[in-house]
Chain A
Amino acid sequence: MSALLFTLLAAGGSFSAGLLGALTGLGGGIVIVPMLTLFFGVDLRYAIGASLVSVIATSSGAAAAYVKEGYTNVRVGMLLEIATTIGALGGAYLAGRIGTNAIAVIFGVVLLYSAWRSTKPLAEHVSTEHAHPLANTLRLNSTYPTPNGLQPYAVQAVPAGFGLMFLAGILSGLLGIGSGALKVLAMDQMMHLPFKVSTTTSNFMIGVTAAASAGIYLARGYINPSLALPVMLGVLAGALTGARVLAGANTKMLRRIFGVVVVVLALEMLYRGVRGGL
């Protein structure tokens, strides 16, 4: 395949992944690596490097729009980033130590989990009192804008959230994904942040977490410029387009279709990983 044709196909595929990821809320990052390895025959390490760069681009691109709305809890984000960056450094270190087949198996499991997770709508828990003692000490409690004015919220389970973020960081560094699903789970379900706050804060953290492992990936030669560029531009354009058309889209059907795609990719990654040869 010529470089020109490859660039166009990779950019087109990445655009679709970014678009579907934004429309379904699952994030495009998780399907980039399987798409590149399974359909384009790209080595897993180059695919992970390209995916990581695109994760940073979409996170920063979306955050530019989000922070203006005033939902991001920078203190919560910064505190949890200690956990995610240490995790990401560990994950990126591990990625160079364990074989690509083992990484493919872990990837398959994470994809299956994400697909399963997306079928179960989460309930929003917002507490106004009884914050975790650490949330008081670290001044994590804040307010967010609602139609009825600013509403205060109290942050729960700080140590448990911190622990889950460490795992999110490891997976991000190991697989080149944003681990957004895990981050949102820790923040809405454990720490009881309002959805709008957890989504935007998680997005803020994704870029920083990915940047922590990107340095190691760069130094190890996993970031191939001519591959990472079309993937990054495609995902970014897809995600920004998705965010624009989100209001009028029927996301229920899309979520189902995308869920099936994710499951198929997961099984294929598992199969390739177990059989070997990735």
Chain B
Amino acid sequence: MSPDSAVPHADIPGAEVLGPAEIARALTRVAHEILERNKGADGVVLLGIPTRGLPLAHRLAARLAEVEAGVDADAITGSLDVTMHRDDLALQPTRVIGSTELPPGGIDGRVVVLVDDVLYSGRTIRAALDAMSDLGRPRAVQLAVLVDRGHRELPIRADFVGKNLPTASTERVRVLLSETDGRDAVLIEGPTGEGR
């Protein structure tokens, strides 16, 4: 695809599409949507997918705790590593395995909200659903992502989206978070950007 036919950001490598304020606002809205959909935080568990889904899950949990009385943010947050359930392991260099830590109450009978930074092909979420079935049986599973960039390869959709971002498949979306990268930003890198 030539840069001309791509979306407007494509010719600027590393164009910032969301800043810290926008990310904070999007997360606050997503937190309220989670509470609305589930009629409160009762039985809700947030599982972040490492690396950047995990800090996002913690931020969402903190917002849930602010709004709902009696919610302990740490007690409803966990991490779910999907590396060993991926279908593309043999196509890529060996991946480092992240950690899986469930909240104290486990996930049986709970409403699990999976949290990730970018929704793209949907294959990570497919792996997450498989990984979760080895750990317990949630009552329902919902998906919250900061950015939905399209180009799904599987019949998977997000329940809560921070920002819909139309992209070309040749572009690269990077989410930076202060916990892992020192600052909050969502960047689009064009076909000429780094990482080609």
- A and B interact physically: no
Chain B residues proximal to chain A, CB less than 8 Å: none
